[in-house]
């Protein structure tokens, strides 16, 4: 019965997502939806390393941006989209491997700081290696790919293509997390020493997870490139790394829906709410602070907790325990060990 309900709501969600352009109306909102999806892929990718490996990266915009830059440069050089995409992902994985080797020298805050430094170096290179990146002017591309002959120029087909990539990402990450390797990864997050003593190669597990995270960051970077048809140093800035990290944390780390909710929150605030609220940056900051106060574990797990608490309370006595829904302590301490 429960499985049936789960299947039903999954199908309903899929149907809603697929038919979104039909009922959302304006192409502007369809584009916003595409952005939510592409940032959700990015956040899901980052969550692999932040949520499941317990390693906080503040340099992932570097990987995202390297994929976008590589794609843009290959396309500008005259290669086809297939070569550009494949090439960009290979380059991204190569750089992710280098990032991982360096960053995994540290754990906890050491890891964070190494990723900050790496991200800043990528930013410096993007800014300064003008012959390759065109400096602060950035690189424009004029076309989007046409898979199976379907043009992605218009908002709707681009949305559907992004949706397909998004669904593949969600499925891949869901399978990954539930797999024996995913269990091993979560083990290295919670008890790295113990895992080592149990026979696991903790370093290699983290390394591979970093590559997997980098791969999805790269895929998101390519979506970003094709969406904007433009990439510039701001794409790889520290603020961009911080932004996607905020998506992951605010939505809820180590959950599948959390990063998606976080991407939705940030993209909507930045792009839609900013049209109505002049001081949207202040409001966004206030929302983050409010999340920490009321749902320190993130929006998705926090809402679930409140929901469970509310329904249990209703089922029990109306005057049940008067205390607030208990906030689990340290439930989102990431890099700590």
Partner 1 sequence: MAPRVGRRTFAKRVGAAALAAALPMPAIAEDKPIKIGLLTVKTGPLAQGGIQMEQGTNLFLKHRGHKLAGRKAELVVGDTGGNPAGTKTKAQELIERDHVDFIVGPLAAFELLAISDYVAQHKCPILSLAAAEDMTQRKPNPYFVRASGTSAQAMHPLADYAAKELKYKSVITVTEDFAFGYEQMGGFQRVFEDAGGKLAKKLWPPIVTPDYTPYLAQLSGVDAVVSGFAGSNPLKFMKQYKDQGLTLPIIAGSVAMDDALLKSFGDEAVGTISCSGYTADLDTPSNKKFVEGMVADYGNIPGIYAAGLYMSGMVAEAALEKTGGKTDDKEAFIAAMRGVSLTDTPRGPFHFDHLGNVIGNAFIRRCERKDGKLVNTTIKTYKDVGQFWTFDEKWFLAQPVYSRDYPPLKG
Partner 2 sequence: MSALEVSGLQKSFGGLRVTREVNLSVEPGERRLIIGPNGAGKTTLFSLITGELRPDAGSIRLFGREIVRVPSRRRAHLGLARTYQIITLFQRETLLHNVMLSLLGLSGLRWNPFRRFAQQAALIEAGRAALARVGLLDMADRPLSDTSYGERRRVEIAMGLAQNPKVLLLDEPFAGLSIEERRDVQGLLASIPHDVTIVMIEHDMDVALEFAERITVLHFGEVVVEGSRAEVVAHPKTREIYLGE
Partner 3 sequence: MNLWLLAANSIAFGGLLFLLSAGFALIFGLMRIPNLTHGSLFMLGAYFGVSLISWGVGFWLAALAGGVGVAVLGGLIERLLLRRLPGAELAQVLVTLGLSFMIADACLMQWGGDPISIETPAALRGASRVAGVAFPTYRLGVIVIAVAFAVVLWAMLERTRLGAMIRAGVDDPMMARAVGIRVPLLFTLVFCLGSGLAGFAGVIGGPILSVYPGLDQDMLPLALVVVILGGSGSLVGAFVGSFVVGVLYNFGQALLPELAYVVLFLPMLVVLVVRPAGLFGRSSP
Q: Which residues bind partner 3 (CB under 8 A)?
A: 50, 56, 102, 105-110, 112-114, 116-118, 120-121, 123-125, 127-128, 238-239, 242, 245-246, 249-250, 253, 279, 281-282, 284-289, 291-293, 296, 329-336
What is the phi-psi region of residue 295: left when phi exceeds 0, alpha when psi lies from -120 to 50, beta otherwise? beta
What residue 246 binds from partner 3, partner 2, partner 1, none (CB within 5 to 8 A, per partner kind)? partner 3
Residues 6+ apart with CB under 8 A from 245: 46, 50, 56, 57, 58, 60
What residue 109 binds from partner 2, partner 1, partner 3, none (CB within 5 to 8 A, per partner kind)? partner 3
Read off the tokens for 275.
């049209």
Q: Answer yes or no: are the C-beta atoms of 231 and 69 closer than 8 Å.
A: yes
Beta strands in 148-263 (DSSP E): 230-231
CA distance 157 to 142: 17
Q: Answer yes or no: are the C-beta atoms of 245 and 56 closer than 8 Å.
A: yes
**Distance in Å, CB of 285 to partner 3, minimum:** 3
Nearer to partner 3, 40 or 161 (CB): 40
Nearer to partner 3, 187 or 296 (CB): 296
What residue 309 binds from partner 3, partner 2, partner 1, none (CB within 5 to 8 A, per partner kind)? none
Nearer to partner 3, 20 or 112 (CB): 112
Positions that interact with partner 2 (CB under 8 A): 175-176, 178-184, 186-187, 190-191, 193-202, 212
Max Cα distance, the chain (Å): 70
Q: Which residues pair with 139 in a beta bridge?
A: 231
Read off the tokens for 75.
């396309």
Nearer to partner 2, 176 or 280 (CB): 176
**Distance in Å, CB of 227 to partner 1, minimum:** 8
Q: Answer yes or no: are the C-beta atoms of 217 and 59 closer than 8 Å.
A: no
Nearer to partner 1, 29 or 288 (CB): 29
What residue 138 binds from partner 1, partner 2, partner 3, none (CB within 5 to 8 A, per partner kind)? partner 1
């Amino acid at each position: 019965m429960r499985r049936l309900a789960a299947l039903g709501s999954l199908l309903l969600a899929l149907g809603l997502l697929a038919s979104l352009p039909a009922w959302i109306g304006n192409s502007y909102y369809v584009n916003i939806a595409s952005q939510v999806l592409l940032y959700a892929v990015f956040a899901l990718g980052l969550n692999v390393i932040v949520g499941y490996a317990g390693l906080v990266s503040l340099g992932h915009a570097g990987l995202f941006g390297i994929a976008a830059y590589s794609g843009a440069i290959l396309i500008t050089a005259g290669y086809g989209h297939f070569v550009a995409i494949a090439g960009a992902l290979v380059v991204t994985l190569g750089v992710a491997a280098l990032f991982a080797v360096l960053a995994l020298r540290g754990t906890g805050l050491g890891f964070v700081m190494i990723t900050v430094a790496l991200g800043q170096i990528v930013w410096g290179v993007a800014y300064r290696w003008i012959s390759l990146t065109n400096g602060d002017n950035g690189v424009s591309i004029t076309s989007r790919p046409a898979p199976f002959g379907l043009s992605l120029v218009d908002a709707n087909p681009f949305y559907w293509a992004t949706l397909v990539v998004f669904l593949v990402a969600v499925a891949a990450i869901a399978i990954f997390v539930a797999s024996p390797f995913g269990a091993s990864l979560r083990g290295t997050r919670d008890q790295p020493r113990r895992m080592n003593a149990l026979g696991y190669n903790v370093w290699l597990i983290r390394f591979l997870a970093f590559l997997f995270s980098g791969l999805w960051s790269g895929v998101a970077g390519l979506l970003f490139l094709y969406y904007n048809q433009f990439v510039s140093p701001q794409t790889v800035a520290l603020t961009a790394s911080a932004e996607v990290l905020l998506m992951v944390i605010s939505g809820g780390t180590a959950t599948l829906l959390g990063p998606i909710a976080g991407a939705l929150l940030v993209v909507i605030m930045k792009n839609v709410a900013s049209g109505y609220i002049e001081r949207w940056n202040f409001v966004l900051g206030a929302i983050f602070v409010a999340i920490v106060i009321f749902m320190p574990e993130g929006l998705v797990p926090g809402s679930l907790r409140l929901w469970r608490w509310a329904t249990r309370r209703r089922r029990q006595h109306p005057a049940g325990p008067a205390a607030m829904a208990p906030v689990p302590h340290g439930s989102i301490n990431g890099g700590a060990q």
